[in-house]
Structure 1
Amino acid sequence: MLKVEGIRAGYDESMVLNDVSLQAEIGKVTAVLGRNGVGKSTLIKTIAGLIKPAGGSIKWMDERIEKKAPEFRARSGIAYVPQGREIFSALTVEENLLLGLEALPRKERKELPGEIFEWFPILSEMIHRKGGDLSGGQQQQLAIARAIVGRPKMLLLDEPMEGIQPSIVQLIQEVIIDIASKQGMGVILVEHSLDLAFACADYYYILDHGKVVSEGITDTVHKDLVKQHLII
């Protein structure tokens, strides 16, 4: 389990997160919702190790990691797919995917798992194409696949469905559900759309002004009660 307690974090002297706590279970999808600018990306970057918290703790598998480097977190099973994808445009699809194996111990860096191409068939078709030649939706699939090949225990996704065509959105939702329920991977999904998040999440948190203002089980909550926190 990943457990965040009382996290305070931000940029320079400006605190974006104020006493944020949440937990995410392996094998479950946890959605982090909120309007633009409320701290969702700051939270996910803090969990990934890209932002050093000013206070609070992050526990992963019963170990405190808030002072650990991003590389340590990646090797311990936390994978991060940033907003904007950040694939290597000059490398081929295959080369991008092989880089994802670097999170594994050297002896386990063998071949790419076949299920990657079952989840994302287009990547098999474009295996020798440069990443920069792919469409936005195809690049997003590549970014997620690159993270998954390292067999993480927790996958952090920062708005993976933003600006993507509906058919690809549905595909990504199905993959998220599949890797959680069948592969036993935990997923933290940052999303601003309630409907997109609730289509695949088991539990949700809503951030507003750097704090958690609502949380609950997605199957039992009335969406109208949640939407009030997302209206500008």
Structure 2
Amino acid sequence: MVSPERLASMQKSWVRTLEQYRVAPVDAYPAFDVLVAAYSAVERYYHNLEHIGEMFRVVERLTPTVEDPNALQLAVWFHDAVYDSRAKDNEQRSGELAVDLLGPIGVPASAINRIVQMIWATAHAAEAPGGRDTQVLLDADLAILGASEERYARYARDIRKEYSWVPDPEYRAGRTAVLTKFLAAPRLYHSPIMFEEGEERARTNLRNELAELQGARGA
């Protein structure tokens, strides 16, 4: 959950970002409302406004390395705008929503294309991400992996809630595959700051969750 004050601050930042594309506040508000409604859905235990706020804090720290901060800000907002734990095309549909909402209010097509490409990269496919801003977005998206033990445990519980429709054996198998894939990556974070501060802790968190899943399976 985010406080009303935090939400108001996020709205002001949203308006300032769109003003860089000469979008008037009156035209910016409706799209913001759509996004807030999406991230506030009752079935979102992790992929919600708290996640967006945490990502923005990471992006702020990495701002000196960012090439197109306005496009990156919008990519953060839209990257999980469509989230259905039963679906496999959330990133694709989130990109399409960005086109649908940003195009009509005057955001240039070239900027929207950059935003969509960044959104699609958050599917965390095997291929390396393209530009620096995409790497920052991915690092912010995965920052939760390097969070404190307490925060990570809450994240893991919230992900389980989002997949409450999956029986325990199937969930353990699927989650184990996800964690194993992360651990097999040469590095989780692209930015030097994130790597230095979070890589080791992230891998510890992942290994601990994996051990818990394997212990539950053997119980």
Provide TM-score, normalisation by structure 2. Answer: 0.30
Of Structure 1 and Structure 2, the greater strand share is in: 1
Structure having greater relative contact order (Cα 8 Å, sep ≥ 6)? 1
